[in-house]
């Protein structure tokens, strides 16, 4: 019976700890900041990979139209 009482007390303490939200906001903000940093890094890498090609295409179109004048 003592074992069941100890388990009940441990369960109640675990529930109280889950309900205690002290410090949770900081962790949530750090988690969101980490996700934002990863997303911005991936977008930056994608832009870096495609931008030179894009600028070359734009330059060719401008030079082609300029030669038509």
Provide the CB-side half-sphere exposure for 67 (13 A, CA).
5
Check residue 46 and give its pLDDT: 85
Check residue 22 and give its pLDDT: 64
How confident is the prediction along the chain (69 residues), in pLDDT tens digits per residue? Answer: 676 777 777 777 777 766 666 666 778 888 999 999 999 999 988 888 878 888 888 888 898 887 777
Tell the residue number behind the tokens 């179109």, with chain if given.
Answer: 61
Cα separation, 26 vs 6, in Å, equals: 32
Tell the residue number behind the tokens 């894009």, with chain if given.
Answer: 54
């Amino acid at each position: 019976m003592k074992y069941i009482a100890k388990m009940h007390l441990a369960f109640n303490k675990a529930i109280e700890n889950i309900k205690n939200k002290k410090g949770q906001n900081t962790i949530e903000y750090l988690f969101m900041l980490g996700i934002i940093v990863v997303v911005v890094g991936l977008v930056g890498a994608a832009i870096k990979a495609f931008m030179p090609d894009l600028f070359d295409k734009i330059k060719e179109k401008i030079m082609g139209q300029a030669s038509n004048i």
